[in-house]
A and B are shown apart, each in its own frame.
Chain A
Amino acid sequence: MAEEAKKRVMVVDDAALVRLYYRDTLEHAGFHVDEALNGLEALEKLLTAPVALLIVDINMPQMDGLTFVDAVRRREMPLASTPALITSTEGGAQDFAAARAAGANFYLVKPVTRERLLEVTAMLCGTAA
């Protein structure tokens, strides 16, 4: 993947403030950030603009994060293999298991610091931190 494409990520979260917080952090580090308010909108956007990483909240209207990740995994390649980072306020063993079952690659419990978000994003995108 070209270095440029590696830096394109999508934040899927229904809270405008959270999108802004993540986007600001990531853009500051040179990432290009797409946004979606829920899983349905994210699926639609991915049809025209694939990304190197999905950063996905769980609780969202229309389509929640886990349903969304599961739906992505059922799409054709290479879309189906897009890495997904789940961010959630829940941090129980059953939450991690559910995310893994849906096809998530990584899980961060909110609040997520700017440093940690960048570290994990760079790791999953395969860019230098």
Chain B
Amino acid sequence: MSELPAITEEELRRLCDFLYRRTGMVFTEAKRYYVERRVFERMAATGSGTFASYFARLRSDAEGEVEYFVNAFTVNETYFYREDHQLRCLTAELLADRLRLKGQEHAIRIWSVPCSTGEEPYSIAIWLLENWPMVDKYEIEIVGSDIDTGVLERARSGVFGKRALMRLSPYLVEKYFAPAGFETWKILDDLRNSVRFSRVNIVEPAETRPHGQFDVIFCRNVLIYFDDASRRVAAENLYENLAPGGYICLGHSESMSRITPLFEVRRFADAIVYQRTVGEPHG
């Protein structure tokens, strides 16, 4: 293997700054190895001999390089029924609460963002079919969004490997998937059609707003990649995407209270979630 070109401290800083401005994700010298691996990958893929030529390509967005670059930095490790205590909370508490508030309205909107390769939004659909006796009464709209267009394509295809399905019982796998090759399965078309996928950058209000207001948002393990400023922007955007009284579920190591006073923390039997208050926000 030929020796990889070194990236100077200054170059790394400029690159991370570029990434931060585009996505809100924060990487520093401490993550040099992680960043370098991805930059070298993109340099090889684009045939850039030096960091300078790659960075020039990136900044001019030649052949859509920004998108490839951003895609390389997103983390897409997930599986079906991950953090299912939140799904239990969804059907045991959150939906009933939303319906009480909505009265006669027959639509429920759920947003999975970022949705990566689709495991989470599809899990929500399966969970509702299996555990929510009102599933035929309400018009349920499940939207999965991500900044990474590569994972969105995979999500739309609905094809999954063994690892993604490891937490589903064989009964559920047989019921909702069809074998599609060696240790791969394809999700049933009706399930695939029950989730809509879209691209979104959650620190960009111009991209989040058009998605409209949701009853419940699942936003897990993305805020941990942001710095305080982007976190606040993302939280404020998500707040706008919640219907008054709507709920947002974060990853188990994340806390909204640290980010913004906009939401009210609610403790249910299965999960801690954050709620957009029904009236005007306080603070």
Contact surface of A with B, Cβ cutoff 8 Å? 15-24, 35, 87, 89, 110-113
A20 — nearest CB in chain B belongs to which residue?
A: B190
A residues in contact with B190, CB < 8 Å: 16-17, 19-20, 23, 35
- Given the complex of chains A and B, what is the CA–CA distance between A112 and B136 in angstroms? 7
The 8 Å CB contact of B139, one of A15, A19, A24, A113, is: A15
- Distance in Å: Cβ of B154 to nearest Cβ of chain A: 20
B residues in contact with A16, CB < 8 Å: 189-191, 193-194
In the complex, B85 has a CB within 8 A of chain A: no
A residues in contact with B194, CB < 8 Å: 15-17, 20
- Distance in Å: Cβ of A65 to nearest Cβ of chain B: 14
Contact surface of B with A, Cβ cutoff 8 Å? 106, 125, 128-129, 133-140, 175, 188-191, 193-194
- Given the complex of chains A and B, what is the CA–CA distance between A35 and B193 in angstroms? 14
B136:A21 contact, CB within 8 angstroms:
yes
- Distance in Å: Cβ of A16 to nearest Cβ of chain B: 4
Given contacts A24-B175, A89-B106, contact A17 B129 (CB under 8 A): yes
- Distance in Å: Cβ of B283 to nearest Cβ of chain A: 38
A residues in contact with B125, CB < 8 Å: 17
16 A–B pairs (Cβ distance < 8 Å), ordered by A: A15-B139, A15-B194, A17-B128, A17-B136, A17-B190, A17-B191, A18-B135, A18-B136, A19-B190, A20-B129, A20-B190, A20-B191, A89-B137, A110-B137, A111-B133, A113-B133
B135:A21 contact, CB within 8 angstroms:
yes
Q: Which 10 A-B residue pairings sit nearest by Cβ, starting from the closest?
A: A16-B194, A110-B137, A111-B137, A20-B190, A16-B193, A16-B190, A18-B136, A111-B134, A17-B194, A110-B136
B residues in contact with A20, CB < 8 Å: 129, 188, 190-191, 194
- Distance in Å: Cβ of B44 to nearest Cβ of chain A: 41
- Distance in Å: Cβ of B109 to nearest Cβ of chain A: 13
- Given the complex of chains A and B, what is the CA–CA distance between A17 and B194 in angstroms? 6
- Distance in Å: Cβ of B197 to nearest Cβ of chain A: 14
A27 — nearest CB in chain B belongs to which residue?
A: B175
A residues in contact with B189, CB < 8 Å: 16
Residue of A15, A22, A110 contacting most chain B CB atoms (<10 Å): A15
- Given the complex of chains A and B, what is the CA–CA distance between A113 and B133 in angstroms? 7
A residues in contact with B136, CB < 8 Å: 15, 17-18, 21-22, 87, 110-112
A residues in contact with B193, CB < 8 Å: 16
- Given the complex of chains A and B, what is the CA–CA distance between A111 and B191 in angstroms? 19
The 8 Å CB contact of B135, one of A87, A89, A111, is: A111
- Given the complex of chains A and B, what is the CA–CA distance between A12 and B94 in angstroms? 29
B residues in contact with A35, CB < 8 Å: 190
- Distance in Å: Cβ of B264 to nearest Cβ of chain A: 30
B133:A24 contact, CB within 8 angstroms:
no
- Distance in Å: Cβ of A80 to nearest Cβ of chain B: 27
- Given the complex of chains A and B, what is the CA–CA distance between A110 and B133 in angstroms? 10
